[in-house]
Amino acid sequence: IDGDLNKKAAGEKAVEFIKDGMVLGLGSGSTVYWTLKKLGELVEQGLNVKGIPSSKRTEGWAKDFNIPLTDFSQVQSMDLAIDGADEIDKDFNLTKGGGGSLVREKIVDANSQKLIIVADQSKLVSQLGKFPLPVEVLPFGWEVTARKISEMGATPVLREREGSVFVSNNGNYILDCDFNLIADPGLLHKELKQLLGVVETGLFINITDTIIISGDKGIEVLHK
């Protein structure tokens, strides 16, 4: 796990927003790892919460930390989701998916009353796009989907891990798409979502309420 002190500080800070009895959306990534670890300590001390994990990796960590889990057959809306991001712009729009969990993250984050993003200061950008945009696509005909995305002006690269094609928790592929700087993330998301074969994009538009940033100025909690 990325031992970066800023990630640990930001991740741990988020537990201050967790109240007894909450149903939580559990995000994914190495910053949220620290949230989960800290939350596990509070559960140990008697805090009563349960959460829906946004990836198999998060599910494993939650089990390691004895955080009670639930699922959408039991709850359809969560009180609070805590997640990470690859980029955060000034409107609190996000690029996510660096860890490959963007689809389940978006389903968990979008179905939570509040979304808190925890991040090191390096994630703050003036415009999204320096980080190649992860797009989850169906494996069937992914080559055609990739070509359609190329025609939109991007350079899609099929994500691989340890020399073989990366397969998401949903059995799909991920194309990392370099669009250069993205002037209108909301519009790009809509255009991509309409493409046959695209499951979901890593653009999280207008769903973030609070960001917790850790960096040279210590920890900052910023509300939209």
DSSP annotation of 214: E
- Give the DSSP H or E segment for 12: helix 5-13
User: DSSP states of 60-88 as a string?
Assistant: HHHHHTT--B--TTT-S-EEEEEE--SEE
Interface of this chain with ligand DER, residues 105 to 164, rule: CB under 6 A: 105
Nearest to 127 by CA among 84, 179, 192, 195: 179
**Please, what is the minimum distance in Å from the beta carbon of residue 147 to ligand DER?**
25
Residue 50 or 104 having the CB closest to ligand DER: 104
- The sign one gets for the Cα dihedral 112, 98, 200, 54 is negative
In the set 24, 102, 192, 211, which binds ligand DER (CB under 6 A)? Answer: 102
Q: Has 19 been labeled as part of a binding site?
A: no
Query: Would you call 105 a catalytic residue per the annotation?
Result: yes
Q: How many binding residues for ligand DER (CB under 6 A)?
A: 16
Q: Supply 212's token pair.
A: 């917790």
Cα–Cα distance, 73 to 53 (Å, whole number): 13
**Please, what is the minimum distance in Å from the beta carbon of residue 37 to ligand DER?**
13
Interface of this chain with ligand DER, residues 78 to 97, rule: CB under 6 A: 83-86, 96-97
CB 27 within 8 Å of CB 58: yes
Q: Has 168 been labeled as part of a binding site?
A: no
Question: Active site residue: 87, 105, 136, 200, which one?
Answer: 105
Q: Has 83 been labeled as part of a binding site?
A: yes
Residue 196 or 222 having the CB closest to ligand DER: 222
Cα–Cα distance, 3 to 164 (Å, whole number): 27
Binding residues for substrate are 28-31, 83-86, 96-99, 123
Q: Which residues are catalytic?
A: 105
Q: What residues form the annotated binding site?
A: 28-31, 83-86, 96-99, 123
Tell me which residues touch ligand DER (CB under 6 A).
27-31, 83-86, 96-99, 101-102, 105
